[in-house]
Amino acid sequence: MPSPGRRFKDAIYEQFARVSKALASPHRIELVELLAQGPRTVEALARMADMSLANTSQHLQVLRAAGLVESTKEGLFVTCRLADPTVGTLLLALRNVAETRLADVARITREFLAENAQLEEVDEAALRQKVRKGNVTVLDVRPPEEYEAGHIPGALSVPLPELAKRLSDLPKRREVVAYCRGPYCPPRTEPRLAVLG
């Protein structure tokens, strides 16, 4: 029969494993990343993650069961949010470990940029210099509510679904830099765009 110490360790590590099991899906990691930006309805999450409403709801149930996500019902809509700021910290730690330990992260990013030759990654220092010189148009392609919550000074709000039809309104002889919520959400292939890395 296991000792009390062994039973304690087995029980406590089982609880830790509940969290890692909940994050063992790329879709659930994406939902946590979206919720790290702010509360969202299930419908908005489904649209932003390009998943069906049913799949999104199932993934959210797993995240709720692990204590990572909370939700409230407001009329006909269910709004979800991260249960605690430490969940966002966990997401960043997970990403940092993957970037540090898995060469595939850099390879996948390089391959994406190579396949979409019109996209070019721009780091923060280079962007600041381009903005100071006034020879770049900065687009915030996040949803309007995220832009309103905070954005790069001087950036124009052009939500991703509107990007294609608004490109003709942009200055013709200026570089365009688009940014979204993080390093792994580059805009879909569009002409004349650089991506803030």
CA dihedral defined by 93, 105, 32, 184, rounded to 10 degrees?
Answer: 120
CA distance 165 to 38: 27
Query: In 3D, which of 137, 173, 142, 168 has the Cα closest to residue 157?
Result: 142
Q: Identity (one letter) of the amino acid at 46? A: A
Catalytic positions? 180
Burial of 6 by CB count in 10 Å (0-12 exposed, 13-18 middle, 19+ buried)? exposed
Task: For residues 193 and 138, give the distance between their C-alpha atoms in angstroms, rounded to a whole number.
Answer: 10
